[in-house]
Structure 1
């Protein structure tokens, strides 16, 4: 498999292990570190990243793929607030996934991961997948899921008081690079450069989303 596919599988395996942590089940119905997400709902959202990949692999990939930056600029959840329909649906989906309980969610996630290890290795390098309104190269889509897995694993770990899972450079580096690109697109290069190099002139925030 290519680098992004290997990175995705590594991050997904780490997320699946986190879902098995007893601290997650113990705090299932408590509020998480993310606004309007319970711990269970956040765990469900983390697991949904593998579900999204499963659905993508089932698509025919007939469209012309767009660039990854354009994918993010088109996505309403990036541009809108917590109360926008897209973000409400994201939270609702996480809570629905959590309704099965911690054990069942962890088991289903592990089953998906086992199936995807083989499926991803068999996909061609130029594989295109269809999303509801546009298409992406499979590896670009996997990078979007990689970002979600890394970011939300940190959210979930912080929510239940366990250490954030340690991931190798081949997982973390493409996530940091893409988040930096998105931050530059959103706030401008000067704001990002100042934040990274000049604390006295840094803006209040350079969040990618």
Structure 2
């Protein structure tokens, strides 16, 4: 499975969604996510491209990378409420960036994605300044791929567009990650029942 290829396919799809006139038309309206305008959510979606460029431009980290699931164990937003500092910062960052407007955001996203396609290195450790630890580049791309998929759905719902269909390769990456996180949060039995036994399915197996 080529995580780099999958990342670019889904990032291309996200940029197409960001460029849809429906997004610009609803830029200042509330989104489907509480606390986000459509513009703020769109910027958060685009940041899954911008932040890859950001970490690749930073020096190589001195410490070894942690594992993918360990990353999700550490980040505060996976288990905290909307008013937790981590989630407030995420929303504020998106809303502040939205001041540039939809056209500027789309132009930046297209330029950043084109640059990444030309300069993406082979797998190596990368430092994530927003959490202060390192991942492998491949694992970073998996985290961004999942974010692109989830927030593309959020944005599409917010502006009344169909949710972009992921390529099979990308679907596998996202489904495997979310399933592993759901099992880690709820245990195997609830996830097993939700996927195979409707009569015994729990109320939720949400990964976050």
Q: Same fold (TM over 0.5)?
A: yes
Segments ≥4 residues shifted beyond 4 Å: none
Q: Structure 2 residue aligned with 1:130, among 123, 127, 138?
A: 127
RMSD: 1.0
What SS class does the counterpart of residue 147 from structure 2 fall into?
A: helix
Residue 143 of structure 1 and its aligned partner are, at CA, apart by 0.4
What SS class does the counterpart of residue 99 from structure 1 fall into?
A: helix
TM (normalized to structure 2)?
0.96
Residue 172 of structure 1 and its aligned partner are, at CA, apart by 1.2
Residue 131 of structure 1 and its aligned partner are, at CA, apart by 1.6
Match status 1:110 vs 2:107:
no
Residue of structure 2 equivalent to 1:86: 86
What SS class does the counterpart of residue 65 from structure 1 fall into?
A: coil
Contact 1:44–1:98 (8 Å) recurs in 2 = yes
Residue 176 of structure 1 and its aligned partner are, at CA, apart by 0.5
* Aligned counterparts of 2:88 and 2:17: Cα–Cα separation in 1: 25
Residue of structure 1 equivalent to 2:185: 186
Residue pairs, 1:143-158, within 5 angstroms: 143-158=142-157
Residue 5 of structure 1 and its aligned partner are, at CA, apart by 0.7
Residue of structure 2 equivalent to 1:21: 20
Residue of structure 1 equivalent to 2:200: 201
* Aligned counterparts of 1:99 and 1:10: Cα–Cα separation in 2: 27
* Aligned counterparts of 1:8 and 1:97: Cα–Cα separation in 2: 23
Count of equivalent residues: 205
* Aligned counterparts of 1:119 and 1:104: Cα–Cα separation in 2: 22
What SS class does the counterpart of residue 65 from structure 2 fall into?
A: coil
- Deviation sequence 1:63-110 (CA, Å, 0-9, x none): 201110000000011121110000000001111121100111111100
Residue of structure 1 equivalent to 2:57: 58
- Deviation sequence 1:180-205 (CA, Å, 0-9, x none): 00000000000000101111211111
Residue of structure 2 equivalent to 1:6: 5
Contact 1:56–1:130 (8 Å) recurs in 2 = yes
Residue 21 of structure 1 and its aligned partner are, at CA, apart by 0.4
Residue 60 of structure 1 and its aligned partner are, at CA, apart by 2.2
TM (normalized to structure 1)?
0.95
Residue 124 of structure 1 and its aligned partner are, at CA, apart by 2.5
Contact 1:147–1:175 (8 Å) recurs in 2 = yes
* Aligned counterparts of 1:74 and 1:105: Cα–Cα separation in 2: 30
* Aligned counterparts of 2:59 and 2:69: Cα–Cα separation in 1: 22
Contact 1:61–1:135 (8 Å) recurs in 2 = no
What SS class does the counterpart of residue 97 from structure 1 fall into?
A: helix
* Aligned counterparts of 1:142 and 1:174: Cα–Cα separation in 2: 10
Unaligned runs of at least 5 residues, structure 1: none
What SS class does the counterpart of residue 129 from structure 1 fall into?
A: strand
Deviates more, 1:57-66 or 1:28-37: 57-66
Residue of structure 2 equivalent to 1:177: 176
